[in-house]
Amino acid sequence: MVALESTLISHGLPRPDNLRVARALEEEIRREGAVPATVGVVEGVARVGLGPEELELLASGEVPKLSARDLPAAAAKGVSGATTVAATAHLAALCGIKLFATGGLGGVHRGARESWDVSADLAALSRTPVAVVCSGVKSILDVPATLEQLETLGVPVVGFRSRAFAGFYLSDSGCTLAWSVEDEREAAALIRALPGLGLGCGVVISNPLPPEEQLDPGLHERVLRSGLEELARRGVSGKEVTPFLLEHFRERTGGESLRANERLVLRNGRLAARIARRLCEER
């Protein structure tokens, strides 16, 4: 099985693309011989595996984003919500799911020395035995600081056939990893080794876009700079930072960032499914 976060549907992509991509991602995983399990909260009940109507509910854009710490309150109040990486990993682990595919992790925000804005995704991975296949952390974040934080927390980070840490929209974030795995068999062996070594953490598997599919690096730099300036001018902070900057990228790139996001999400889903199959075959 491969877990999928629902925040990608509710807050990461615009309507109607969000629902289309969510369905396409599940179908890609099925084609690779695995079972997709999109995670969310429906009327206060945590669901690992959503039906068509539940996917449509979360794609409406009218539900809150729920991190792991929000789950008890959502359960008590009976509300519906979309789960972040932290909440999705937690709920997937409760069900024994080892693989989780997403676009990009949360991480250390730029200016975190003043704001202390660090995603709960990182701490969650330090205590949750789930492997996350992703295209690095979102490139709007402080990537070197995020990798330093993951190292401090003891979370293994490996590249898939590359030691260049993926830069989300970009193939290379400019950061080099100490380790890489060469195929799905090695990735599965790494995941299988964690509990036997007494490590209760997860692992990040960086799966970069091929250079020919990435966003133009020069365009990326210009749009990021203008987005950060607009962010400061409007005083956007907290949970609103990432959706604001992703929408800024979509507008300023004429939709190219959205298309890159879709490509990387589907690639990560396919890779996670192949690793999941390998884990089952060699159990």
Q: What tens digit of pLDDT does each residue of 117-145 get?
A: 788 899 999 999 999 999 999 878 889 99
User: What domain range includes position 38?
Assistant: 2-282
Q: Which entry of 5, 26, 54, 184 is annotated as an active-site residue? A: 5
Residue 38, SS3?
A: strand
Q: Please, what is the end-to-end C-alpha distance for the chain in angstroms?
A: 14
Report the predicted TM-score, pTM, of the whole model to 2 decimal places: 0.94
Active-site annotation holds for 26: no
Active-site annotation holds for 239: no
What are 261's strand-pairing partners?
none
Q: Which residues lie closer than 8 Å to 280 by C-beta, 6 or more apart?
A: none
Report residue 93 CA to chain centroid gap.
Answer: 16
Task: For residue 120, say whether it is annotated as part of any ligand binding site.
Answer: yes
Q: Which entry of 28, 54, 98, 138 is annotated as an active-site residue? A: 138
The pLDDT assigned to 114 comes to: 65
Task: For residue 121, say whether it is annotated as part of any ligand binding site.
Answer: yes
The pLDDT assigned to 39 comes to: 97
Q: What tens digit of pLDDT does each residue of 168-201 get?
A: 999 999 999 999 999 999 999 999 999 999 999 9
105 near 204, Cβ under 8 Å?
yes
Q: How far apart are CA 48 and CA 178, in angstroms?
A: 33
Total structural domains within the chain:
1
Mean pLDDT on 142-166? 96
Element at 232 (helix H, strand E): helix 217-234
The pair of structure tokens assigned to 173 is 């974030």
Task: For residue 39, say whether it is annotated as part of any ligand binding site.
Answer: no
Task: For residue 85, say whether it is annotated as part of any ligand binding site.
Answer: yes
Per-position b or e across 14-34, b if 16+ CB within 10 A of its CB: eeebbbebbbebbebbeebeb
Query: Which one-letter DSSP state was computed for residue 11?
Result: I
CATH number of the domain where residue 242 is located = 3.40.1790.10
Q: Which of 119, 82, 73, 116 is nearest to 6 (CA)?
A: 82
Q: What tens digit of pLDDT does each residue of 3-54 get?
A: 999 988 888 788 888 999 999 999 999 999 999 999 999 999 999 999 999 9
Q: How far apart are CA 75 and CA 44, in angstroms?
A: 4
